[in-house]
Each structure stands twice: as structure tokens, then as C-alpha cells.
Structure 1
Amino acid sequence: MIQNLPKEFPIGKLDDLDFGGAEAKTDTLIETPLGVCWTRPIHEFVKGKKNIVIGERGVGKSVLFKLLSEEKIKIKKKKDEHHAILLIEEELQYGTLKDYVDKHVQTFLTDPSMKYRIVWELFILSRILAFVTKKYAAFLPEELHKANEEMSVVLGYKTDSLKLSEIVKGVKATVGLKFGSSPIGTIESSVYTSLEPKEGLATDSKSVVGEKNIDIDEYKKLVQQFLDQRNTFLFVLVDKVDEFVVKSDYDIQQLMLQALMETEKSYMDCKNIRFKLFIRCDLYKRLEYDVIGPDKITAKKITLVWTDEDIRMFIAQRIMHNYFNVLGLNSLQFSIDDDKLYVDEKSVDNYIPDQSHDPSVSIPFVSVLVRSFSRFWKREMPKERKRHIEGRHTTMNDEISKQIITSIFPKHVKHIDKNGQSKQIDIFEYFSTHFSLASGTTTPRLLVMFLDKCLVIAREYYRNNPDEKVLLDMSGEYQLFKRNILKIAYAEFQTEISESFSMISSHWKNYFERFVEKKGKRTEYSFEVLYKFLGGDREEMRGFLAFMCHIGYLKCHNTKALIEDRQYTLPILFQSDNKRHGTDGLTHATYMQR
């Protein structure tokens, strides 16, 4: 238990509690020490050897991108080594891009992604040249100054923060590109672009007329040599290229990502230029690995996933942030039964404490998570204990996370199982199972939304019940978020998350709303059942179901089968609000009157 919490939780402080924001741009807590969860993937990522970050929607790819860009998280470096970061955030209009590429980019190669790779090669190289020219102007060799000037004149850009769409529209000349050596085995390829400058772009005497040849590899070599001489590593962070699109744009997006991966691979010989690409799981799985090299790409990727233990740490750290910054605590002190750390959680119900322990033995343990967070570990030593060869089944940090969570949340909540029976489940199972999309993994984004909803409902509850006090019980826990508060918060959270999902795509909005309206209490569906009660065109239905699986609203259990034979289920999160989660039809208004 936590040993040093105040005897009474100050209800007046509820308005000051803050669990952060659901989006990277609005989550102020990631600016604080406790706002960042150092999960295993992040620990591995900062070692610098992983170039591709993949993950489901909401797992924190954009948060990691933001923290890296602001240097709140830093990639490890050796002594006397220097790092620089180039940010590329590209929300592309794929239809417009396709029209331009089809019209202006020509190559003798049959690979459909090659045209898009040419666009990426031009864009990324121009951004790198502009970046190093601006950052190292006083030290830059003449060859690099000339290279940047030549690229800026030919491609028609003036700044180092231009977008890809600005480059393809601002070309001033017919440009021939030479690839000395490419990862797909080509010796040389040519690209021809329009002579028309971007509208509003001033032309000058340096504008190129006719054809201008650019040796991509030579320019890369110049940048590599310069960075190597300065013992500097340039990290190119690329995000936002995987935003959700529909129909034909999806195929173009896949080609663009394929081309981006091939472009990243073309920098293999430039050891001082390292890419960090942030990509959704579903798009990553659709790439053509035989072109890129499956073994090599697997070695460079890392998947952002949140284990149950990670989720508990995430919630606990956000509670701790409020204990320190709102309640004004300087530390938290814990008492932990050491034996429980060695008991498999699956058999914890059968655990009987050894009565021969000597309770007088205590060992202090200082947390490595936060400097201001001290931990007193009460280790109860038996007279004779066999050595724990296998190690602990529950980590020290996870036990602490659990104690922090139950200090304000109930240990158990009501749940209606699939047979319609009401039962209690512990709060940790609740967090692990009730906030998952179809992928089966819980995401921080959804949890933050729910935690914030709990605060909203709790504030109203205590405003309407000013006589209630929240006192520390015998277990060292507050009953701050009562079970009914969680019930109402979850029901409202379900409604809001469903509404937000309906707005992801205007194209599928009508289908989505019909599905939500008609799904009832059913949790399993076949293609034919869905087609029967949603109606419409069968081809449209195929696209809609692909969309629903993509956003995590439906899970397909037999993806290899013909689409007409596929079976789908709803995650708990999207199942019938009241019956599934035990609110028993209790509305917000009626609850507050009780």
C-alpha cells in the first residue's frame, strides 16, 4: 500500500486534476517527466538502430515524433558525436499527386512505384541540402553551396521548409536524374518535368532552360562526406504520410510508401544520414517486401505496442503527476509483500502467504523512474526460502503501478459477460480488455479520453453531493472514482468514440451511421448479414468493411477467405453500451439524482 497519502482527498482539487490530452499536440503532460512512458520499444528505439516505427492508430507514433523533434527524447550518441534532426511532415493530396506524376514524370522502368520514388529522391535530397546549407552555412564547402543552389533553381524553391507538393509544382526546367546505383538494380533512370514554374514563383536569370541533369548519388556523397568530417549524424524524421485515405487514393498511398522505403534504402551507403519513418501497421503489411528485402527491413523496424503492464504504468504515472503537482506531495512511499512478486498472476487466487515470515526485515529501495519518487520496499524474508531461479512473475514497477491505480479507482468493476450475466472483474482486467480496438491492443489515446471523462463525471457527482468526503481507507486507498462514476463515464465515452469514428471518412459516414443504428446487441456478423441490413452496392460494402477493419471498429477472423465468406466481430469497446457494461439503463441524469 501507499503509506504517505493525505488522510482526506481534497475535493476542491478535482478541478485541477489533469490526465493530459488525447492528441500529441494537446497533451501537455508529455512535457513533464511523468508524461512519457519508457516502454520496451522506446528503449530500443533510442539506441538508434531502428529506422522504421510501425504501430496501430493511437499507439503514440505522433507523440514519439513530437518528442524526438523537440529533443525531449534523444537518440543515444557516443562521446564527441553530434546529432541534427530534419523534420518532414507530409499530409499529401494523393489524387493531385497522381495526376502530376502521370503527366510529368516519365521513365522506361515498369515498376509503378519508381515514378514516386523519383519524386521522393528529389524532395528529400532538396530538403537535406537546404537544411545543411542553413544550419552549417559558415562551415559548408563550396561544392555543397553549389549543389543546394542548383537544386533550388531547378526545383524552384526558396526555403528549407518546403513541402513535397510545392516541389513538384515548382519545377522550372526539364530535369534528368541520374542514379549511379539503386537498390532495385537500375543503372540510370530519367525523369522529365514540366517547364512551367509554380504560380507566383518569381523567375530569375538563373532559371534553367532545356534539360538539366542532376546526379543524385553525387550530391548524397557530398553531404555524407561533410557530415562525416564533422562527426555529425543527420536524422530525417518522416511522419503523416500514412493518414487515412479511401478508394483509389489508397493505392497511390501504398505506392508512395513503397517508394519512400526504397528511397530510405538508397541512403544505406550514407552512414551519417539516418531515417526514422513512422508508418501504420496495416500499410506496412501491404508493402512489397521482395523489392525492398524482407530480412533487411525487418531488422530495421520496431513496433510500438502497449502491453498490459505498459498500460498500467501509463495510468499510474499520470496519477502520480497529479499527486506531485496537484496534491503537492514530494514522494510516494510503498509497502510491498515480496512474495507476491514471485507468484504467477494466473494462480494468484490460490496464493496463501507463508506465516513463517519475519515482518521486521525492511529494505529501502529508491525508484529509478523519477528523482522525486522514493520507494520503501518491505521485504518479508522467510526463515528458509529456496532461491528464485525463474525470477519474478510480477515486476516491482508493475506492483507499484497497481497500487497507484487502486489508490483512486475501485479494485473491481461490474461487467456483463457474453452470456448476459453480471459479474465483477478487477480493474486491471477492465483496463486491459475494455479499451481495445479490433487489433486487441489498448492504446493510450483511448485511455486518456476515458480518464478525462471520469474526471468530468466525478466533478459533477461531488458538486451534487457536497456533504461527501473522500477519506483514506484501511488499505490506504481513496474511493474517489466510484463504480457508478466509471459506468457512466464508460457509456458516455463509448458514445463519443463512436461519434468520432463516424467522422473519420465522409465517404463512409452514411454507411457507418446505419451500422451503428442497426447493429443492436449483436456482436458477430457475416458479410451477408451486414449486406442484408445495410443494403447498398456489394462492391461498396466490400470497401466499407475494409474501412471498418482498418479503423479498428470490426475484426475479421478469416482474412484469407473470400470476402463474401468472412466473419466479423465487434470489440467490447463498441458493443451495446448499457447491457455490456452494467449501467442497466441508468442515465447520467437519473444517476445524479440518486
Structure 2
Amino acid sequence: MFIVTSAVKKFFLNKHSVIVGAIGTGKSTLFRLLKNRHKEIDAFKNDLIIPLEEALSFSELSDFTKEYYIGKDERTLYQLLWKFNILSKTAIAISGMPNFPESKSEQTINNFLKESLSTDAYSSIISKVKDLISNANIKFEANIADHPITLEAGIKKPSTNKKKINLEEVQRAISSAVKERGFDKATIIIDKIDRFVAGIEYAIQRNFLTALLEVDDDMASDSHLNLKIFIRYDLFERLNFSNLGYDKVVDNAVILRWSKDETLRFLATRICMALHNAQIANFHNMILATDLSEYGLSFRERFLLNPKIPKILKKVVSKKQKVERDQNLFGKFDKSFITKVFPRKAIHYCASSQQTEEIGIFEFLGGHFIDGNSVCTPRYMLIFLKEVVNNVSSYYEENPDQISELVLVDKDYEWDLFKKKCVYTAYIDAKDIYVKNIGTVDEKWAKQFSNFTSKKGNKTKFDFKWIRANLSDVSEQDSVDFLSFLQVIGYLKISEHHSDIKKRGYELPILYKTAPNHS
């Protein structure tokens, strides 16, 4: 099931190049959607989609720069590498089409593929360029933001007999070929460039991604080439926007973030679908079981809300001006659908009193699933909902004398289905799953994460000194990097700010704090 949030609606317009989000907010889902099902999206259905999913070694990139780009601005090298890689992948995609090369522009593309050895779609960009210029027979030329860039082996081995690859000419040929083949655009979707790295690699990664944004800006005037760049939110915030301007880059970005209302919509939709699939109630039945008296809906408006009424009949019904509402009608539906099965009160563990108490279900849902990035993702809610179903199923199996009945609560009809203790137990069970899942995000840190969780006990606040004292097999630098990693994945949040990581204070967000079983 795919929920179209306000951010996703912006994405579907195909007017933004950069897609930004914290871990779990849906970047990978949108990438796969474009890669595998773009024809289902109006703004992309006539595009040639080209995935670029190369996980680059930043240490290898650093070595390459030191060897072949001595004394020059590394940013220009990164720009050239990106442009070459983007054009190379697009050229390979076009070369696989019937009767290639069938035009002058495609002949230019064919020559480019041969001269640049780019017919091999599996070699890494660094390996490919290194092999080319190591033979001292290739000179790359590009022009990005009106700045000419060249790369040649002559830095170390001067030669007068070099082939020239002018990337601007290649881009023009590709753009023409895309149009000739009947596509609106070639959309290059770029992912797997934002894996967590630290130290020197992190600095290189930031500069490399900044160069990609600059290439995107340079190529924006080409109506037949389109980039979609998927970047982790915390990394995006730390890029250097001095050349492009922060406002300009942000205006070109879609920020994936689920609001509380959208999270409730996701949960309500899952519940509605489950009741419909179980043949318990459909959407119209649930509307009829909902108190809408505060909205003053007339027969005409109820008629428009009925999903069984054909759209053509709804169109002939004249519109009526309405006064502004404090709560949206669909927001009312979402909350009503949730309380059709969830109790109106939930059990909450108060850390200060070390006791459980009851709070409103929407306060519980709105506040208990926030990670260290201040994000609630649909993944968290889905895991929780599955655990609720499992616990409720076990409850009724162990208590066959109890049944769920439709009862009237404050003018709304609701099922007494999900018991408060079942919901609380499901939340505790879900917490364990959240921790296990996040511990596998990066294999490099899996061992340290396992040691951390085994030693933290009920402690909620941490710092560099605690890491050094309790994770003895982790070096000083790795301790700094590990803290940064825990913050990036949302397992920790900063509680005491300081420019020096060794002097910062960190805290577990509520999502990962231990809560006792309810007795």
C-alpha cells in the first residue's frame, strides 16, 4: 500500500531534482517506484529511466585525485567525473535500443562509447577513467557553470597525440537522440551515494555530492536530460551551497517527512483496508458509523461522500460554499477509523514517576514513535500495527469467552477490539524489533552496536567518555565516528550541543527507550 503524502505529490510533479529524507522516510521506495513502475506516474510515463546506483569508494576517489589531479581544484574533477558517469550511463541505455545507431546524433554517441571504453556497463567510474587516462591517449573536456574543465594523463606523461572527448558535444548528441527516440526526457535516478562514512571519507563525500548538485544545476537548461538525486537529510544539510545558494537548492528539493496527520492517515488506511478485506466493514459503512454532526453535512454532501455513487452523477451536483473548519473532514475520518479498533486511551510509561498511566490514543501515537531525527516513519507504524494484531489474536485465543462488539461511544460506533494492555505490550515488542532492525543498517558498526545495546541497561544518556569506558575494543577515532553513526541513523539525538563531538551529550529518543512490561 502506497500513501501519497504532500511530499510525494511534489515528487510526482517531476519538477524537483533532489529528494531528501532521513533513513526510513521513503527515498528507496520512490527510487524503486521510478525504476520499476514509472509508466504508472503521468509526469514520468514518457521518460527513459536510467538508474545509477554505484556505491563509490571515497578512499579510492581520494587516491585517484592525488595521482591524476595534482595541484588542481578537486571540485572540478568531481564535476567532470559526475558528468562523464551520467552521460556514459545514458549513452549505454540508448545504445541498447533497436537499430542503434540510426542517426547522426547516435553515431556520435557510438563513437563516444568506443573511445571512452564505456560499453562496459559494470566497471566503476573511477576504474574506467583511470584505465583511460593511464594510457595517455585521452583528454576529457567539459564546461560546467561556464568554467572549462580538462582531465588528461599529460599531467604525468605529456603527449601531443591524444583523443579528445568533449562532454558538451556528447550531451548535445544524447539530448537529440532522446528526442528522436520519442522520449520526453532521459531521467537519470541516482542512489546509494549517501552511505554513512566518517573522517576524511566524509569530507570527500560532501564535496563529491556538492559537485553533483552543481552538475545538476548546469544540466538543468537541457530539456531532455533530467536528474533525480536521492540524499540522506543530515548529509544534505551539511553540503556546501556557497556556489549555488542555499535557497536555490532547497527550492529544487523535495523533503520527505511524514507529518502527524499523514502518519494517522497511513494507520487509518491500513485499518480500513483490513476491515474491508476481512468483510467486516467497508468505507461507506465506517462513515455511517462515524458522528459527523459537528460538520453539518447535508444529504447532498453525504451523497458526494458515498463511494458507491458514480463520479459522473457527483459532477452534476452543484457546489456549495462552506465555512472554514477547525478540523478537516478527512482528519475526522482518520481518527474515527483508528478508534474503531483502538481504545481511546493508551497505557504510557512515565519515566519520572516510573509508573504507567493512561493518555489519549492520539497523544500516544503522535509522541511515542519519534526517533532521534525527530521523524516517525510508516515503517515504525507498520511494525507496531503488526505486533498489535499478533497480541490481540493471542489475547482472544486465550480468552475465547470474550468477543468484540460494536458499541456507541460519544455518538461514534466502535468495536472494543484492541485492548489497552495488548496495545502497550505490542509497543514494547515493536521497540525490540526497531532496535534489531536499526542494528543491521551498516555491517561495519554491527558489532559495536550490539555491544552498546548489551551494556547500556536502562541508561538513556550517553557521551564520548561513556563510549570509551564501556566499548574498550573501539579506538578513540572510531568512538567519535560511532557516535556520529548512532545520531545519523536516529538511534541517539543530541541533548547537549557542542562543536566538538567529544563534548556533546546524547540521549535515546522515546522510540528506543526501554519501557517495562505492564503488570
- The TM-score normalised by the length of structure 2 is 0.84
1:76 equivalenced with 2:43 (yes/no): yes
- For residues 226 and 452 of structure 1, the distance between their equivalents in structure 2, rounded to whole angstroms, comes to 49
Partner of residue 576, structure 1: 514
- CA drift of 1:323 comes to 2.7
Instruction: Please say if residues 107 and 189 of structure 1, whose CA atoms lie closer than 8 Å, have aligned partners that are also in contact.
Output: no
1:66 equivalenced with 2:66 (yes/no): no
Partner of residue 487, structure 1: 424
1:512 equivalenced with 2:449 (yes/no): yes
Instruction: Please say if residues 95 and 249 of structure 1, whose CA atoms lie closer than 8 Å, have aligned partners that are also in contact.
Output: yes
- For residues 371 and 76 of structure 1, the distance between their equivalents in structure 2, rounded to whole angstroms, comes to 29
Q: Deviations over 1:522-570 (max 9, x none)?
A: 3334544555555565433322211111111111144444334322221
- CA drift of 1:191 comes to 3.7
Identity score, percent: 24
Partner of residue 315, structure 2: none
Aligned pairs, number: 495
Match of 2:326 among 389, 393, 410: 393
RMSD: 3.4
1:403 equivalenced with 2:356 (yes/no): no
Q: Deviations over 1:163-198 (max 9, x none)?
A: 64674476485421111x312x5223224499xxxx
Instruction: Please say if residues 5 and 262 of structure 2, whose CA atoms lie closer than 8 Å, have aligned partners that are also in contact.
Output: yes
Structure 1 unaligned segments of length 5 or more: list them. 1-34, 195-208, 342-356, 375-386, 587-594
Equivalent position amino acid for 1:448 in 2: L
Equivalent position amino acid for 2:27 in 1: K
- For residues 526 and 498 of structure 1, the distance between their equivalents in structure 2, rounded to whole angstroms, comes to 19
Alignment of 1:44-63 (within 5 A): 44-63=10-29
1:452 equivalenced with 2:386 (yes/no): yes
Three-state SS of the structure 1 residue aligned to 2:266 is helix
Instruction: Please say if residues 332 and 373 of structure 1, whose CA atoms lie closer than 8 Å, have aligned partners that are also in contact.
Output: no
Q: Closer, same or farther in 2 for the Cα pair 1:291/1:263, shift >3 Å?
A: same
Partner of residue 316, structure 2: none
Equivalent position amino acid for 2:69 in 1: Q
Instruction: Please say if residues 227 and 272 of structure 1, whose CA atoms lie closer than 8 Å, have aligned partners that are also in contact.
Output: yes
Q: Deviations over 1:101-154 (max 9, x none)?
A: 544x436532x233333222211101112223434x459653322222223223
Partner of residue 548, structure 1: 486
Match of 2:277 among 325, 335, 346: 325
Instruction: Please say if residues 123 and 167 of structure 1, whose CA atoms lie closer than 8 Å, have aligned partners that are also in contact.
Output: no
- For residues 68 and 508 of structure 1, the distance between their equivalents in structure 2, rounded to whole angstroms, comes to 31
- For residues 120 and 37 of structure 1, the distance between their equivalents in structure 2, rounded to whole angstroms, comes to 33
Q: Closer, same or farther in 2 for the Cα pair 1:193/1:282, shift >3 Å?
A: farther
Instruction: Please say if residues 108 and 189 of structure 1, whose CA atoms lie closer than 8 Å, have aligned partners that are also in contact.
Output: no
- Which protein has greater RCO, CA pairs closer than 8 Å, 6+ apart? 1
Structure 2 unaligned segments of length 5 or more: list them. 312-320
- CA drift of 1:265 comes to 2.0
Partner of residue 84, structure 2: 122
Alignment of 1:266-281 (within 5 A): 266-281=218-233
Q: Closer, same or farther in 2 for the Cα pair 1:422/1:464, shift >3 Å?
A: closer
Partner of residue 314, structure 2: none
Instruction: Please say if residues 53 and 278 of structure 1, whose CA atoms lie closer than 8 Å, have aligned partners that are also in contact.
Output: yes
Match of 1:302 among 238, 254, 269: 254
Equivalent position amino acid for 1:452 in 2: K
1:88 equivalenced with 2:22 (yes/no): no
Match of 1:312 among 247, 264, 267: 264
Q: Closer, same or farther in 2 for the Cα pair 1:453/1:151, shift >3 Å?
A: farther
Partner of residue 264, structure 1: 216
- The TM-score normalised by the length of structure 1 is 0.74
- For residues 294 and 158 of structure 1, the distance between their equivalents in structure 2, rounded to whole angstroms, comes to 37
Instruction: Please say if residues 176 and 214 of structure 1, whose CA atoms lie closer than 8 Å, have aligned partners that are also in contact.
Output: yes
Three-state SS of the structure 2 residue aligned to 1:190 is strand
- For residues 419 and 131 of structure 2, the distance between their equivalents in structure 1, rounded to whole angstroms, comes to 60
- CA drift of 1:403 comes to 1.5
Instruction: Please say if residues 107 and 190 of structure 1, whose CA atoms lie closer than 8 Å, have aligned partners that are also in contact.
Output: no
Partner of residue 224, structure 1: 175
Q: Closer, same or farther in 2 for the Cα pair 1:188/1:511, shift >3 Å?
A: closer
- CA drift of 1:64 comes to 1.4
- CA drift of 1:470 comes to 2.6
Equivalent position amino acid for 1:403 in 2: S
- For residues 365 and 419 of structure 1, the distance between their equivalents in structure 2, rounded to whole angstroms, comes to 51
Q: Closer, same or farther in 2 for the Cα pair 1:130/1:248, shift >3 Å?
A: same
Equivalent position amino acid for 2:55 in 1: E
Q: Deviations over 1:216-247 (max 9, x none)?
A: 11111222344456572222211222123344
Partner of residue 186, structure 1: 147
Partner of residue 211, structure 1: 162
Q: Closer, same or farther in 2 for the Cα pair 1:372/1:258, shift >3 Å?
A: farther
Deviates more, 1:120-129 or 1:512-521: 512-521
Deviates more, 1:259-268 or 1:300-309: 259-268
- CA drift of 1:518 comes to 3.6
